[in-house]
């Protein structure tokens, strides 16, 4: 599927939305929705911007990019929106134009768009697989470069650089070392220097899409206690991956996840950190919780992140009709833990010994 075909499919989805809402047009302003409708353009200037530097108005017949004179030159030169079926509405930066009588991507309408956005089509899946491989390579590169005495900021800088070198952006970049891994589930990097044990976490964005992953490394042989924790969290993670099947609800999967924690003697550990959920155009399109009625569908991306004190496991999967595919699978050479679940063997990343 090429980019134009992908956009045309999404335009058809919006036509159906306009029909249901009895509206003439939809104005997309959020960066996640602009990445979605353009099949990969980046509308953010500030990296954390909720709203794009331009917007897109979609009617039943047309789609138009609304842009200031600041952005217009670059968009014409580099984004090739005209070839993708978009018209332009350009205006001076100090005289903004707002389409009249249109739906906007907020409230219930944003919920409708999310339902379209979080089931990926063939073109998105192709890009997502490549993004997952590159994110896994960035994690691998960054963590293999660490040395005792490095600060957590230095580890985070390497992860940032590895993502940037692959055309992506680390929209989440967490680093914990030694005792901070046990103390905090979301360890923002600090000036603390690494002694023996490191965890790096990334949500990498490229072309609007986001994948997530976590890797851990230890200098010297793993202590028995840490090796046991790695085995436990691998078993818990494998159980939730195997449970993520089309037709089941997030609540169904969460119940299996709770049972997996209990089976490892870690019954309460899920209470101390969210466990992940659907991803795609946001780091988490939804955070799963007990009883969540959201139905899993083929084409959805999920990033589960179970953790116990001092250890965590996280990768991003694509759900398909036959099960799941790990798009951020660790490259060859990474230590893996094989877990048997329901007759299948699921490989989960262990802790790298340096």
Q: Fold match between 3-117 and 122-353?
A: no
Give the residue-averaged pLDDT of 145-167: 98
What pLDDT score does 101 carry?
A: 81
Share of residues in the chain with pLDDT > 70 (%): 100
Q: For 171, phi and psi rounded to 5 degrees?
A: -75, -20
* 72/88 Cα distance (integer angstroms): 9
The b/e string for 169-197 (b: 16+ C-beta within 10 A; e otherwise) is bbbebbbbbbebbeeebebebeebebeeb
Domain ranges of the chain: 3-117, 122-353
Determine contact, residues 187/202, Cβ cutoff 8 Å.
Answer: no
* 38/24 Cα distance (integer angstroms): 20
Share of residues in the chain with pLDDT > 90 (%): 97
* 38/240 Cα distance (integer angstroms): 33
Determine contact, residues 116/18, Cβ cutoff 8 Å.
Answer: no
Question: What's the whole-model pTM score?
Answer: 0.96
* 239/24 Cα distance (integer angstroms): 46
Q: Which fold has domain 122-353?
A: Creatine Amidinohydrolase (3.90.230)
Q: Convert the pLDDT of each residue in 91-140 to its tens digit.
A: 999 999 989 888 999 999 999 999 999 999 999 999 999 999 999 999 99
Determine contact, residues 140/214, Cβ cutoff 8 Å.
Answer: no
- Where does 3-117 sit in CATH, by number? 3.40.350.10
Give the residue-averaged pLDDT of 12-28: 97
Tokens found for residue 330: 């660790």
């Amino acid at each position: 599927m090429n980019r134009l075909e992908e956009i045309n499919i999404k335009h058809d989805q919006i036509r159906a939305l306009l029909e249901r809402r009895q509206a003439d047009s939809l104005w997309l302003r959020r960066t996640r929705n602009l990445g979605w409708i353009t099949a990969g353009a980046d509308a953010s200037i500030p990296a954390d911007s909720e709203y794009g530097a331009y917007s897109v108005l979609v009617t039943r017949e047309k789609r138009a990019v609304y842009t200031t004179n600041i952005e217009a030159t670059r968009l014409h030169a580099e984004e090739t929106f005209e070839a993708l079926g978009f018209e332009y509405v350009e205006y001076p930066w100090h005289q903004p134009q707002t389409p009249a009588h249109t739906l906007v991507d907020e409230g219930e309408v944003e919920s409708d768009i999310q339902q379209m956005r979080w089931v990926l089509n063939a073109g998105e899946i192709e890009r997502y697989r490549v993004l997952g491989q590159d994110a896994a390579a960035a994690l691998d590169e960054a963590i293999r470069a660490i040395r005792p005495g490095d600060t957590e900021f230095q580890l985070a800088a390497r992860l940032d650089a590895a993502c940037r070198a692959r055309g992506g952006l680390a929209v989440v970049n967490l680093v914990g070392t030694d005792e901070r891994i046990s103390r905090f589930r979301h360890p923002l990097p600090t000036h603390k220097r690494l002694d023996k044990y490191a965890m790096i976490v990334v949500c990498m964005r490229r072309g609007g899409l986001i994948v997530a992953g976590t890797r851990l490394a230890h200098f010297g042989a793993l202590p028995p206690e840490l090796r046991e924790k790695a085995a436990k969290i691998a078993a818990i993670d494998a159980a939730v991956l195997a449970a993520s099947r089309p037709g089941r609800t997030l609540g169904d999967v969460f119940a299996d996840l709770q049972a997996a924690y209990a089976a490892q003697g870690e019954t309460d550990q899920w209470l101390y950190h969210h466990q992940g959920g659907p991803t795609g155009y946001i780091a988490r399109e939804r955070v799963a919780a007990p009883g969540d009625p959201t139905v899993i569908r083929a084409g959805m991306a999920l990033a589960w992140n179970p953790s116990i004190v001092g250890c965590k496991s996280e990768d991003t999967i694509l759900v398909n009709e036959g099960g799941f595919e790990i798009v951020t699978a660790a490259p060859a050479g990474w230590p893996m833990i094989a877990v048997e679940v329901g007759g299948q063997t699921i490989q989960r990343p262990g802790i790298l010994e340096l």
